[in-house]
Amino acid sequence: MKKIYSILLLLVVTLGFSQQAYYNGINFSLNGQPLKNQLAQLIITTHTKELSYSQVWNALKITDLDPSNSSNVLLVYGWENGSDDDVTNDLSRNKNDNGGSNGQWNREHVYAQSVGTPDLGQSGPGADAHMLRACDVQRNGTRANRKYATGSGNSTVVGANWYPGDEWKGDVARIIMYMYLHYGNQCLPSNIGVGANADAGDDMIDLFLTWNAEDPVSQTEINRNNYLTNANNTYGQGNRNPFIDNPYLATKIWGGLPAQDIWGTLSTTQMVAFKFSLYPNPSNDRRINIDSEMEVDEIQLININGQLMQQIQKPTRTNNTYTVENLPTGFYFLKVTADNQSVTKKILVN
């Protein structure tokens, strides 16, 4: 959903109290696989209560409530509230009108059950309330187990694939990231999305990194996360989705298009720890120079769609200067990695 940026003023400076306690022990100076491993261990060990598939019905009636009508739940992939004759595109529906018939809502596996390796089933990963969302029965059937793919506008079939809609793509991306973090190879992003892998030594694909950056966190996502993290709640699981708490965690782990740093600390910490100068910017000769006293391990050129355009590993430097040449014209993100730290800056090539 289009997002509320001022979630809590306190988060601009530090984590909220409940989040701060949850992430005690996580070393946020890490990047890549080490940070991924720490977060995975955290959400697995704190998932102390597993819901049954039937319990998810009642969980969704709480977690997916429509903020403008507490009698309704929001329907993933929906966008319209009854002004046309097509009920399959409704955004909201009575929370008790659930089931398997046309005009009702059911439980949508955002990570399609059948494409898991193995199948997610109806317990464990298949009943994880962080992944299941309320959805119109017919729209759910149209999506089926189609992979997610690039698109624009409202949710729709794209060739043999599925675009979740501009209002939902960030929600989808953060759910896929959570499932991969929690369930590993059973929930590979490449099994559920179309696109190239980001150069992260991992299975995450650029599509979800781009969606995570382009569609910031909604209040509904925050409400779901806060309810499910409390195992004392009737349908609470005990764990959180870290990418809802801070989408920039995905950037630290997998790279790609830089996402919003809700806490305002992760990206700033990196830039303080690793400094370099970049010039000329804009570039008029398709060349960028990078001055760094630290030895650079890798340089990536990423376009505004999150696609990796150029990659230089162990680049050669002359007098602490690295030069990237033959750049195509356009607006890009230049990601520079040194000593397991990455900094991304915007560049313009004329």
Instruction: List pLDDT tens digits, range 265-311.
Output: 888 644 444 567 889 988 999 999 999 888 899 998 887 656 788 89
- Looking at the fold, whether 158 and 296 belong to one and the same domain comes out as no
Q: Are residues 110 and 234 in the same domain?
A: yes
Counting the structural domains of the chain, the total is 2
Q: What is the pLDDT of residue 199?
A: 63
Structure tokens at 192: 């559920």
Q: What is the mean pLDDT of each run of 10 residues along the chain (350 residues)?
A: 34 48 91 95 98 98 95 96 86 96 96 97 97 98 97 97 98 98 97 84 92 94 96 97 97 92 75 69 91 88 76 90 90 82 80
Please tell me the predicted confidence (pLDDT) of residue 66.
Answer: 95
Say what the pLDDT of residue 264 is. Answer: 81
Residue-level pLDDT at 272: 42
Does 342 lie in the same domain as 252?
A: no
- CATH of residue 298: 2.60.40.10
Domain residues for the domain of 341 are 274-349
Q: Indicate the DSSP class of residue 90.
A: B
Q: Which of 237, 260, 283 is the last residue of a domain?
A: 260
Q: Is residue 267 part of a domain?
A: no
Query: Are 298 and 153 members of one domain?
Result: no
Strand (E) positions, the chain?
65-66, 69-74, 92-94, 105-109, 132-136, 156-158, 161-163, 277-279, 288-291, 298-303, 308-313, 317-318, 321-324, 330-338, 341-349
Which pLDDT does position 198 carry in this prediction? 66
Do 173 and 244 fall into the same domain?
A: yes
Measured distance CA(23)–CA(124) in Å, rounded: 23
Query: Based on the domain organization, do 223 and 338 belong to the same domain?
Result: no
Co-location of 81 and 151 in the same domain: yes
Output the pLDDT for position 308. Answer: 81
Question: Is there a single domain that holds both residue 139 and residue 223?
Answer: yes
pLDDT score recorded for residue 197 = 81
Looking at the fold, whether 237 and 293 belong to one and the same domain comes out as: no
Please give the pLDDT value at position 13.
31
The DSSP bridge partners found for residue 93 are: 73
Hey, is 135 helix, strand or coil? Answer: strand
Tokens of 224: 């779901």
Specify the pTM.
0.75
